[in-house]
Structures are given as C-alpha cells and as structure tokens.
Amino acid sequence: MKVVGLTTSTADRKRRAGQRIVLGIAGPALSDEERAFIREARPGGFVLFARNVEEPRQVRELNRELASLLPVELPPIRCVDQEGGRVARVREGATIWPPMRHVGNVADLQTTREVGAALGREVRALGFDLDFAPVADVDSNPKNPVIGDRSFGRVPQDVARHVAAFIGGMQGEGCIACAKHFPGHGDTAVDSHLDLPIVEKDPPDLDRIEMPPFRAALAAGVGSVMTAHVVFPAWDEDRPATMSAKIIRAQLRERLGYNGVVFSDDMEMKAVRGRYPLELQLREATEASVDVFLMCKELTLAHEAWEILVHHQEEDKRQEDLAIDANTRWHSLRERFFIDASPQPDLGVLGCPEHLDLALRIRARGGES
C-alpha cells in the first residue's frame, strides 16, 4: 500500500482532509445523507457506539457496508470503544468483561495479556480494526467521575505493566490498540464530556504519575494514542492537551519520541465544543500534531470540520504540510496492520466458553466490593 499523492490540487486537499476524520453515524443503519457525505469526503475511518448496535451480525454487516463505500486504496479504519466494564458498546452476544481495575487487581500480566487478546479477537470478529483501549490513565483522584475503575489501578508502575501487557495481547491478534487519554485523565475531578478539567500538578509529579503508562505503551509498540481534553497549566496554561503543541508535540512527539497516529478525543465533548471556535480547535490541534479527529455523532459538524481542514491547507502551506504528515502516519498504520493481516475471526468467538471462563476467573480473583 503506497501513500497517495503529495500534490496540492483541490482534490488532494479534500482527500487529505477526509482522511483526518473518523466519523460516527446516527443509528444502526446508514441514512442517505450519511452515505452521500461518506462518498464525498471519504473519511479515514468510522466509530460505532451502542446506538448503532442491534446484534453482532448486524454490526459486522454495517462495518462491511461502511468499508464498501470507500475506494479500495483508502480502506477505512473502523473503530469502537470496547474497554470492558462500563465502557462496552457491543454487549448483546459479546463477552461481558469486568472493569480493567479488576484485571489489574488480579496482578498477573499473563491474564492481562489474555484479556487484551480476547477483546481483540471479539472486536475483529465484529468487523472493527481498532479498539480505543486500553485506558492508560492512573486512577489517582478518588473524586474522578469519568475514569475510576476503567484504569488498571492507582500505582503508576503497576498501570504501566498492565497497559503494556494488554497492548501486546490485543495487537498480537491484529487489532490496533489506542492508549488514552494523553497525558492523563486520572487526576481530574471533572468529566470532560461535560466541562473542561484542569490538572494542577508540577512537571515532576506529572512525569512520576501520569507518564509511566504512556511510556510503557509506546515501548510496547502501541498503534495509536488519544489525547485528553484536559488543561495542564504546568505545560500550557491556555489550551487543553488536544490543542496544545506544548503538550502533544513537545511532550509526546519530541520528548517521548512517538511518531505514530494521534487521535483527538471526541470533538463534540463540552470540554472543547462551544468553548473554542471549531476553526481554532482544528488549526491548533493540527499544529500540535493531532492526526485524526473524532466526530462521533453530528454529521453537520463533521461536514464543517472537513471543509475547514480543506481551507486550512489552501490558506497555509504549513497546515498543508502538517496534513500530509498526518496522512502519512495514517497510511503507515494501515500498512502495519492491514498488509498480511490474519483472517477475520468468526462471530463464534464472541462469548465463547474460553472468554467467559476468563471473565469469570477475573471476577472471582480481582473483583472489588
């Protein structure tokens, strides 16, 4: 698979802009309006949620249809949030996994690797290519309303070991993992779906607590990283991490040496939506080296974002160069996981006895009262 075109025509700019959007849809089937936009913008991928799910066969068929709408040279990366615990978009027919806190409590890295592998098999059987897991946040704030037991634990080094094991298991099954939410959402007292959190920590404390799981994820070869819509004044007083070159470019890219795909968290979350103009969000996030933007539900917002990303390239050579860089990383991720990929597992792996037994053993050994 080759990287298509580093030219400057309008068609190329539109293609590059589309490839930087992962699109959500409204329901369990595509509308005519959604089909038309997909054919026009050719998004880089799709993300499905519980609203899109009826049963496993329907999910697999929907993922097949989504891919069929795009040219073969631009296969989409089809994504889902299937973490286990409270964040599981597909439940009917799938294994109901305990929260990752319970997995961490078992304190056995082979078990964690097996969970990552089992989740990877089930996600791929449903037609997905990427799972937005694992959570690499350290659960360091008991008042945190959004992370909690989604984290493997409260000790940074323990979380780091489990994050690496999980990634090894999942990506060993051909499913792309995503470490989230960089540089850390574990010490917030605010849900970024609802407001803009601020983490008041000095750099040494951020380095000691927040960074170890992300360092471990990168060392494990994680395919992608997701940003946090969180402000870290020690690094950037003015912008959440998603929009901050001082955080994503300086800390993740330059300091930690990561050159893979960076996703934004959902751009419809209230930590950013309505707080900054969309044009500014996309411009600054691009400057920060965010590659792909999650537009999880509203088609009108996705369409507006696509047009802005085209215009940015027309108006600013640096924005165009950064869009080319982003597309190159996206194509490299495809090459890494799509070329010589193992066959898609059968739907029979969902809720199979082996997976159910693993989930049961984790609940017995790692469950919290």
CA 89 from centroid of its chain's CA atoms: 14
Q: What are phi and psi of 30, to 5 degrees?
A: -75, 140
Q: Does residue 222 fall inside a structural domain? A: yes
The span from the CA of 115 to the CA of 113, in Å, is 5
Helix, strand, coil percent content, the chain, rounded in steps of 5:
50, 10, 40
Helices 32-41 and 10-19, axial angle in degrees (round to 10): 120
The span from the CA of 167 to the CA of 175, in Å, is 9
Amino acid at 90: V
List residues with catalytic annotation.
193, 265
In 126-222, which residue ranges form alpha helices assigned H by DSSP?
156-172, 203-205, 211-219
Q: Does residue 306 fall inside a structural domain? A: no
Q: Does residue 310 fall inside a structural domain? A: no
Q: Does residue 2 fall inside a structural domain? A: no
CA 262 from centroid of its chain's CA atoms: 8
Kindly report, residue by residue over 303-324, the tens digit of the pLDDT. Answer: 999 999 999 999 999 999 999 9
Of 68, 72, 73, 103, whose CA–CA distance to 85 is shortest? 103
Q: Does residue 4 fall inside a structural domain? A: no
Q: Does residue 5 fall inside a structural domain? A: no
207, two tokens: 């380095």
292: enclosing H helix or E strand: strand 292-295
- Given strand 261-266, what is the order of strands in its sheet? 130-131, 77-80, 45-48, 21-24, 292-295, 261-266, 224-227, 178-182
Q: Does residue 104 fall inside a structural domain? A: yes
- Evaluate if residue 225 carries a pLDDT over 80: yes
- Evaluate if residue 2 carries a pLDDT over 90: no
- The structural domain count of the chain equals 1
Residue 53, CA atoms < 13 Å, CB-side half-sphere? 19
The two most distant CA atoms of the chain are separated, in Å, by: 60
Q: How confident is the model over 85-107, as a mean pLDDT?
A: 96
Work out the percent of the chain whose per-residue pLDDT is above 70: 98
Q: Domain containing 190 — which CATH number?
A: 3.20.20.300
Residue reference for tokens 């994503």: 248
Q: Which domain covers residue 262, as residue numbers?
A: 10-297+316-341+348-366
pLDDT at residue number 69: 97
How confident is residue 7, by pLDDT bands cut at 50, 70 and 90? low
Cβ-count burial 21-52 (b if 16+ within 10 Å, e if not) = bbbbbeeeebeeebeebbeebbbbbbbbeeeb
Kindly report, residue by residue over 257-302, the tens digit of the pLDDT. Answer: 999 999 999 999 887 888 899 999 999 999 999 999 999 999 999 9
pLDDT at residue number 368: 63
Check: pTM over 0.75? Answer yes or no: yes
Q: Does residue 3 fall inside a structural domain? A: no
